[in-house]
Structures are given as C-alpha cells and as structure tokens.
Structure 1
Amino acid sequence: MEIKSKNNESHHERQQSTSTFGKFNEHPGYRRMFAPNKLTIGIFLPIKFYKGQMADLKGQAEIVEMIDQLNFASIWVRDVPLFDPNFGDAGQVFDPFVYLAYLAARTKNVSLATGSAIFTLRHPMDLAKSASSIDVLSGGRLILGVASGDRAIEFPAYGIDANHRDVRFRETVEFFRNLVQHQRPSIQSSLGQVKGGEMLPKPATGDIPLIVTGSSQQSVGWIAENSDGWLTYPGATADASGPQRLSEKIDSWRKKIPDGLFKPHMTNEWIDLIEDPDYPRTPIRGGFILRTGRKGLIELLKEWQAVGVNHAALGIQFSSRPPADVIQELAEEVLPLFPSHAGPNPLHTKW
C-alpha cells in the first residue's frame, strides 16, 4: 500500500511527476493548472468591461474569492498600459502586478496568471522584481504569460520601436531568467548590464513559468525551446473543425520541444453561457464570442482536451447573465469534469 501525502499524492506519483514537470515540480501554481492529457479551467478578468466609469469594476474581487473557493484552477489578468478607444477594451484597468498582489491577499489556492505581461514595454529588472515579489507573497502561485504587444499606441509612448520588438522580447526573456534564476548573475545586454548584484526576492520555488502568448513575433521553434508553455487563440469554436486545426498547431509545436519534455498548451474563449443547457454552440459578433449552453461548452472543452489543450481560460465579460450565476453553474456542472489538479500546497507565510 502506498502512503499518501497530505496533498493526496503518493510517493510513486511524486517521483513520476518530477520527470514530467521538471523544474516546476514543486511550483503550486503550475501544478494546479497543468498535467499531460488533462484540461483545467480558469477565468479571465475583468468580469465586466470598463465602460467609462471605475464603478463598472466594483465587486470583482468578491467574485474572484468565489472562484478561489469553488476550486477553479486560475484567474487571468491582462496588461494594458494605455487604453486606446480605437482598439477596443481596457483590460481589467489596474496594473496587472499590483492587482494580482491585491488578489493574492484575498485568495488561498487559485493560480494567478498574466495573460499577458508585455515584455517589450517593461524593463526586465522591473518585471523580475514585481513577478518574484508576487510569487513569494502568494506562496508560489504566479504563472507569467508574456507577449510582445500589439497596441500600436503604446510603443511610441514608451519610446520603443515596435518594428524591433521581436529582438527586444527575446532579450527581455533572457535577462529576466538570469535575474530570477541566478544568485549573482553576470548580464551584458542592450537592455543593461548587471555584475555583482542580486535580485531579491527569489521566486518561491526557484523559478517562474514563462508562457508565451501567440507568436510574440517568434518562430514556433523558438517558442518550443524557450517557453515553459504556449497560449494561443483557439480559432473557430462553434464546431469540431476549429479544435482539429488547433490540434495541428499544437502537434507541430510539441514536435519541436527538446527531449520530448511536457510543456502545457493553453487557449481561451469569451463565452455567453445561456441558461438553456441545450442551447447550441453559436458564434456571435463575427465569431469573437461563443454563445452556448453548458452542454455545448462541455463538448468544446472535451474537444480541446482531446487535441492536447491543457488549460482553458474562459472570459464571461459578454455574458447576458449575472457573473455570479455563470460562475456557480460552471462550478457545479462543468468544473467536476475538468477538475483542478492536486499538487503542492501554496507556501503561505505570514509576511
């Protein structure tokens, strides 16, 4: 008989997971969200979009506490430094790192993910300091989605050439990793030089997962080798043809991952979950939003899981129903089919 640990993992399972999850074997946020051949569910913030008044965002933290208590795998926040009315939405408005620190203090277990921090616009010193601080304060729950940016208004505001963001993105990733992984890093980069100093605090378990979003101006091969996971858009979601095309993308990427290591794939969708459970999967607003009942959503999630998606981030900003009602239905009817993973408990300390 195998003896189970308090987090329900047997010795054999923990030994097996060491080779599967590599350097993130003990990372609570990563292990809660990701496992081979399984899919978990997270929620993309904001719950409601900013429409000109900060009051539009009131009550969101209470919903996040509900998400945590109902055992969803993650919450996601976006990084939108400047709101461009011509582009569309303003994200969750608050700075992603400040807001995740606030939400970390109001939750216990849910993974905290950026979707995504714009690595071309922020200096790696500031990124490393903010990310490591949140990771430690949350007990190792941070998942850092990263991207090269796509809002043209932001690059001149930062004095950065958008045409060179592919190179800057790679340099920032390398600089960031040297800072968080090494005690005394020696860094020579166009972004700065470091010698003899140390970035503190270090991440709770020694490293922070970097999840590349979209292409971020990089090749699939570079993403396979240098990321800790990949978040891509799902394509069509009204029928199985979209997941099948997504399957080809995932397979092509995974074939390029060195040594056959497991790296998770994620996707996301904005949904309008209708009360009628049999309401068919119906694209609205040109396919930007999926209107469906829970049975259609479950079908989609099963299709994603079958083609290799490991995590689905669902946005309910366009829902025609109250957010709490949607979250409750997802928790009762959908989440049991795609449960969050048992793994290392967050390393909570009374800082």
Structure 2
Amino acid sequence: MSGKPALRLSVPTPVVTMLPGAHARWEESAGIEEVARIAQAADWLGYHHLTCSEHVGVPAAEAVRRGARYFDPLATFGYLAARTERIRLATNVLVLGYHHPLEIAKRYGTLDVVSGGRVILGVGVGTLRDEFDLLDAPFEDRGARADDALRALRASLSQAEPAYRGEYYSFGGLVVDPCAVQDRLPLWVGGRTLRSLRRAIALADGWSPFGVTPAQARGWIQREELPAGFEIVLGPGRPLDPIADPDAAAEELAELAAAGATIASARLVHHSLQHYLDQLEALAALHADISSPKT
C-alpha cells in the first residue's frame, strides 16, 4: 500500500481575478456575493483551499495580457473567512517585494486569527517592473530580497516578539499582536521556473506554480529531493468538465497526481454561477469515487 497522500482539490477562485480569454462572461458583472456562494459550496464539499491573487495597479498596456481585475486578498479573505468554516485561504500570490515582511506577518497573522488558523501564504518574486516602480520597490535584486523576506517571514509568523537579522531585513525588540495562531503557517512559493521550485524547497512548505504544464512540472520535480509534507499545487492542462466529460476530468486528475501534485487546482468549464456550483459538486463526487478503495 502506497504511503503517498491522496490528491486533494482546490478552487482557483473565479471573479476575483479575470485573465483575458480565460474567464466566463458571467464573471464580469459578478461580485463578492457570488464569490461567497462559491466559497461556501467549496467549503461544504471539502475542497482544501481557495485563492486570491495580488496586483496593486496593472499598467493599461499589460492589462491586455494579465487582466485588470485583482481583488485585494486581505479584504476578500476577511469577508470569506466569516462566510466559511473549514476551507483554507491561500494567497496566490503576494509579491514579496511590495511589502515589508513584518507588514505581511501582522496583516495575515491577524487574518489567521480571524479565520481560525486557515491562512496559507502563497508568495512570489514578481515580474512586473512598472508595478515595482509605481510602489518605489527595488526590482533588480528582487530575487535575493525575496529569499531574505521568506527567511524573515518564517522567523516572524506566529511569533509575538519576532527577531531576525538578514541581508535586507533586520528587526527585533518589538511586539506583533495579534500574530498567526498556526504554529507553522504554511508558506508556498509561486512562479513558473525551476528556480521557483528550488526556492520553495529551500525556504518554504510548498510550490504553487502557474503556466507550468503537468509534464514540465513532473520533469522538474523528479530532479529534486522534496521535504516531508511538501505541498505541490498543479492545474490541469485544460479546464475540467466533470458534468459533460467525467472520464476526461478523471484522466486529468490522474495526470496531476502522476506529475507529483498533492493538490489539484481545479479549473472548471463554467457558463454561469449555477453551472460553476454544479461543476464543483460534480467534481467533488467524481474525486470521491476515484479516490475510494476498490474492493
């Protein structure tokens, strides 16, 4: 019997982020109440986490490629925490260079208290130079700064009196109250390179890439030695349609598991809010069926 944990499901939350060519028309006029209904359904169905990403201001020229809508994760998750009970709340991702580590520790530590210990901090190095310039954040050394920020976060999350001395960040002799209630609040690293995976292995608890195919991820993962309990969140090569094509959806989930995923980011075919909710339920039922021991 394999000791590998079963693949779990997560929700790349619609509405809060809309990528060109990848969102459904109904999302354009939807708001937080629709998001809350999705979060409540996913919570009831046993999905592991839902997501919210971060951009402060997307240059108009870049919005054509990256999209323009990005709900703020902290405000969004504060609301969804009050509307749900178990599902975890994962930033996917916060850009480390836009924040001092203690700002993240205080704000998301408070969210961890508010949510009852359900926060996952997905973080990234960032690539949008114009946004760095907008925020007066250094761009050229952002990789080294991100590494130091990850070390500073690990030293300060869940610590009422954090202390850290690093290359870019140093602090001590202060109280951060409230702080995260999880003994080890999970840190995940995003990105789309082998370097992001190696950064995650060295400094975090999981890897949640974007724009990486299951086959590409599998090749990278097989080259590395993963720590015990390390999480890998991968999305399917195409959106899942468990209602119309459950066999294809099952095959996609199997491919993600074979690639090394511990959590599947369940992108879905959907044409309305109700269709999305129905797809969530159908995928959860399909996943339960294929995960059940066969006699």
Structure 1 length-normalised TM: 0.70
Deviation string 1:160-190 (CA, Å, 9 cap, x unpaired) is: 2321100110121122222224443333345
1:251 has 2:222 as partner: yes
Partner residue in 1 for 2:250: 298
Q: Residues 217 and 98 of structure 1: is their aligned pair in 2 closer, same or farther, counting only changes over 3 Å?
A: farther
CA contact (8 A) 2:241 2:249 kept: no
Partner residue in 2 for 1:265: 232
* Contiguous gaps of at least 5 residues in structure 2: 21-26
Q: Choose from 158, 162, 182 the match for 1:205.
A: 182
CA contact (8 A) 1:79 1:116 kept: yes
1:57 has 2:35 as partner: no
CA contact (8 A) 2:191 2:210 kept: yes
Deviation of the 1:274 alpha carbon: 5.0
Q: Secondary structure at the match of 2:235?
A: strand
CA contact (8 A) 2:52 2:91 kept: yes
Alignment root-mean-square deviation, CA: 3.0
Partner residue in 1 for 2:23: none
1:43 has 2:11 as partner: yes
Deviation string 1:2-53 (CA, Å, 9 cap, x unpaired) is: xxxxxxxxxxxxxxxxxxxxxxxxxxxxxxxxx94421111112337569x9
Deviation of the 1:129 alpha carbon: 0.6
Moved more, 67-76 or 165-174: 67-76
Q: Residues 182 and 321 of structure 1: is their aligned pair in 2 closer, same or farther, counting only changes over 3 Å?
A: closer
1:67 partner amino acid: A
Deviation of the 1:54 alpha carbon: 7.8
Partner residue in 2 for 1:161: 138
CA contact (8 A) 2:122 2:189 kept: yes
1:228 partner amino acid: D
Partner residue in 1 for 2:150: 173
Moved more, 227-236 or 146-155: 227-236
For 1:122 and 1:185, the matched residues in 2 are separated by: 17
The structure having more radius of gyration, on CA atoms, is 1
For 1:229 and 1:110, the matched residues in 2 are separated by: 18
CA contact (8 A) 1:104 1:137 kept: yes
1:104-119 equivalences under 5 Å are 104-119=81-96
Deviation string 1:64-110 (CA, Å, 9 cap, x unpaired) is: 22222222221111011112333334475321111111110111111
CA contact (8 A) 2:157 2:179 kept: yes
1:41 partner amino acid: L
* Contiguous gaps of at least 5 residues in structure 1: 1-34, 237-242, 278-292, 342-351
Q: Secondary structure at the match of 2:219?
A: helix
Q: Which runs of structure 1 show a deviation greater than 6 angstroms over 4 or more consecutive aligned residues?
A: none
1:329-348 equivalences under 5 Å are 329-337=279-287
Structure 2 length-normalised TM: 0.82
For 2:186 and 2:273, the matched residues in 1 are separated by: 29
Partner residue in 1 for 2:271: 321
Deviation of the 1:272 alpha carbon: 4.6
CA contact (8 A) 2:194 2:220 kept: no
Size of the alignment, in residue pairs?
A: 278
Q: Choose from 106, 124, 138 the match for 2:115.
A: 138
Partner residue in 2 for 1:79: 54
Q: Which has the larger strand fraction?
A: 1
Deviation of the 1:192 alpha carbon: 4.7
